[in-house]
Amino acid sequence: MLQGVNHGGGRAVVSYRYDTATAVSADTATPLFGHPVTVTASVAAADPEAPTPTGTVTFSDGTAPLATVPLTDGRASFTTAAFQPGSHPVTATYGGDPGHAPSSAPAADAPAVFRTAGAPAPPPGPLPVASGHAGALAAGATQDGPVTVRPGGALAVSGAEIHGKLSADGALALTICRSTPAGAVTVHGSSGLVRIGSAVEANGCAGNEIHGRLTVDAGTGGVDVAGNTVTGPVEITGNSGAVAVVDANTVTGPLRCEGNTPDLRQADNTTTGPRTGQCR
């Protein structure tokens, strides 16, 4: 029942709303880093004879809003591939409508996207990440040999050493945090976010020590390159996406940033060589 009684025309009109229940689910029990996952909220009235709820549902990752989606036949869904490695307790909050009360689905550990800490030990020698797969090098891992991410693959590296070059061509996503690649890092044509260190402390992705050239080019999912120490040239060229950051890097060599849209947010980069283009 809604609080209050409306009097008018010699009648007392009592307003009420049906209670509702909201549930949230993911389309897979084993979502992978870099791969799309669809999250769906279902809203139902407590009285089975009540009309179907209308209005919107807001999805959140913890306290961070993700999307607000209108209900269709009591359901609302959104799809994202932007979850970084780790657990993501997704909640769904129904805002109510004139005939239905608001309700929320409690935080669930689903989808809990690819956990780097749970990855198996990497094999010796070259490490390829195939299309449709998500690879991980977790804290304390040492990879002897080059790492190659093939088109449609994804890779998360956190607190690991790589004794060889790292290359990704057409990757779904790439994250490198608190790690030490002892060779060139080359990322071309990524369709998802490329995060190599981060300027946002809340991301929990500290910078890396990269002993070789760093190249990130022609990506469409955004680029976040920050807090790294790079022994070699750095080139960030031809990328696009909502995230466009090159910040607080120390580069032994030149730094070139050209053709990135939107224009890069960049500051506090230190170099021993020339700085050209957007990173001047």
pLDDT tens digit string along 136-185? 898 888 999 899 999 999 999 999 999 999 999 999 999 999 999 999 99
130 within 8 A of 110, measured Cβ to Cβ: no
Model pLDDT, residue 204: 83
Cα angle 43-47-52, degrees, rounded to a multiple of 5: 45
Query: What span, in angstroms and rounded, lies between the C-alpha atoms of 280 and 262?
Result: 16
Model pLDDT, residue 199: 77
Task: Give me the mean pLDDT over the 263-278 stretch.
Answer: 95
In DSSP notation, 177-188 reads ES-EESS-EEEE
Q: What is the pLDDT of residues 63-100, one digit of tens each?
A: 889 999 999 999 999 999 988 888 888 899 999 999 99
Q: What is the pLDDT of residues 173-198, one digit of tens each?
A: 999 999 999 999 999 999 999 999 99
Domains and CATH numbers, the chain: 16-113 (2.60.40.10), 116-277 (no CATH)
Model pLDDT, residue 118: 44
33, 108, 205, 256, 271 from 216: Cα distances, Å: 20, 35, 18, 11, 17
Query: What span, in angstroms and rounded, lies between the C-alpha atoms of 234 and 251?
Result: 7
pLDDT at 119 over 60: no
Q: Is residue 201 helix, strand or coil? A: helix
> Closest Cα partner for 116 from 140, 89, 96?
140
In which band, very low, low, confident or very high, does the pLDDT at 109 lie, cut at 50, 70 and 90?
low
Average pLDDT of the chain to the nearest whole number:
90
Q: Is residue 118 helix, strand or coil? A: helix
For residue 101, the Cα-to-chain-centroid distance in whole angstroms is 32
Which two structure tokens, joined as six digits, stand for 179? Answer: 């790690």
pLDDT at 279 over 50: yes
